[in-house]
Amino acid sequence: MELQTLQEALKVEIQVHQKLVAQMKQDPQNADLKKQLHELQAKITALSEKQKRVVEQLRKNLIVKQEQPDKFQIQPLPQSENKLQTAQQQPLQQLQQQQQY
């Protein structure tokens, strides 16, 4: 299960749990409600553990990905672009030299 699916399932189960708790307040001796509540708590715990494992795995994957050298690192400009940049810088350098005199 992916993380978002787990989170949605947990949300639904917690809402059901809240409804059961409200019913239990009305009828605290109802054995059937107690059983449902106990089963639901176990289900919520299991989903929570799955979520925890998924998050840990995602963190590990992220760390591994960050440690790998990036394929898209900044590369030096090709020679044609270097020449263009140099040509653009030359007038600036000439202007600076003229200002010094």
* pLDDT tens per residue across span 29-78: 999 999 999 999 999 999 999 999 999 999 999 998 888 766 555 666 56
Find out whether 9 and 29 touch, Cβ atoms under 8 Å.
no
Domain that holds residue 43: 33-66
In a domain, 98, yes or no: no
Q: Residues for the chain: how many in total?
A: 101
In this prediction, residue 37 carries a pLDDT of 95
In this prediction, residue 65 carries a pLDDT of 85
What's the first-to-final CA gap in the chain, in angstroms?
Answer: 73
Find out whether 70 and 26 touch, Cβ atoms under 8 Å.
no
When divided into structural domains, the chain yields a total of 1
In a domain, 87, yes or no: no
Who wins on pLDDT, 87 or 98?
A: 98
Quote the pTM value: 0.62
